[in-house]
Amino acid sequence: IAGPKSTTEPQPGLDTKGFLWYMHMNWRDANNVPFDPSNNWLQPVVNKTINRRPDAFSPRLGQECQSDNGFPYDTPTEALFDPKQVVIVSNGRCGSACSLFSVTMVKHEGSRTVVLGGKQDVAQQYCGTVGGQVQDFRNLDIEIKTTKLKGHALAPPDL
C-alpha cells in the first residue's frame, strides 16, 4: 500500500513442502541463519521465571517467516496511494499480523486510526499485541503428537 521500503517489505510464508508447521528447517535462529537439518532447535533450554513461576523455552528464533524463494508476486514499485490519507477503522481490538500492519502504518507511514464501539464514558484506543503468527492449542498439540513428544514432561496434557 505504501510502496516498497524497509518498513513495508513483508516476510510471508513458510516452506509449504514441510510436513510440520514447526519443522526446524522452516525457521531461522536469532542471527537469521536457517537451522541445519541435524540441529536440535530446542536446545539449549532457556529457563526463565515469569510471574514467579519457572518455565522453559527454546532458544530465540529469528526471521521465522522469511522466504528463501522470494515472494510469490511482485510488490508495487511505487505507493498505490498516500499512506497519510489512510484511516484504519476498527473496534480497537487487533492481534498479531493486524497489529503489525496497523502499528507500522501509524508509526512509520502517518496513517490514522478510528475506534468505534466500547463504553461511552471510557476513552477508546486502538491497541493490539504485535506478533506474526497465531496458533491455537489444537495445532500445537498435533505437532507435539506427530513428533512423539506428548510424553515429555513439558508437554501440555490433552484437554
Domain that holds residue 65: 11-76
Distance CA 9, CA 24 (A): 24
Q: Three-state SS for 65?
A: coil
User: Which residues touch 116 (CB under 8 Å, ≥6 apart)?
Assistant: 89, 90, 91, 92
At position 154, the amino acid (one-letter code) is L
User: Which residues touch 81 (CB under 8 Å, ≥6 apart)?
Assistant: 1
Q: What pLDDT is attached to residue 11?
A: 40
Q: What pLDDT is attached to residue 122?
A: 80
Q: What are the angstrom distances between the C-alpha of 156 and each of 56, 57, 107, 150, 159? A: 13, 14, 38, 8, 9
Same domain, yes or no, for 55 and 97?
Answer: no
Q: What pLDDT is attached to residue 129?
A: 64
Same domain, yes or no, for 98 and 85?
Answer: yes
Its pTM surpasses 0.75: no
Same domain, yes or no, for 137 and 124?
Answer: yes
Q: What pLDDT is attached to residue 49?
A: 95
Q: What pLDDT is attached to residue 15?
A: 42
From 134, 125, 123, select the one nearest 95 (Cα to Cα). 134
pLDDT, tens digit (0-9, with 9 covering 90-100), for 25-66: 667 778 877 777 787 777 889 999 999 999 998 888 776 555
Examine residue 86 and state whether it is found in any structural domain, yes or no: yes
Same domain, yes or no, for 86 and 151?
Answer: yes
Same domain, yes or no, for 86 and 158?
Answer: yes
Examine residue 6 and state whether it is found in any structural domain, yes or no: no
Asked whether 65 and 133 are in contact (CB, 8 A), the reply is yes
Examine residue 5 and state whether it is found in any structural domain, yes or no: no
| Residue 136 confidence (pLDDT) above 70 | yes
The residue whose grid cell reads 510469490 is 72
Name the more confident of 131 and 18.
Answer: 131
pLDDT, tens digit (0-9, with 9 covering 90-100), for 9-26: 444 333 445 567 666 666
**CA dihedral sign of residues 35, 38, 39, 43:** positive
Q: What pLDDT is attached to residue 64?
A: 56
Q: What pLDDT is attached to residue 10?
A: 43
Asked whether 51 and 43 are in contact (CB, 8 A), the reply is no
Q: Per the structure, how many domains does the chain have?
A: 2
Q: What pLDDT is attached to residue 1?
A: 57
pLDDT, tens digit (0-9, with 9 covering 90-100), for 64-92: 555 555 556 677 788 888 999 999 988 76
* Final residue in a domain of this structure, among 42, 61, 76: 76
Same domain, yes or no, for 60 and 95?
Answer: no
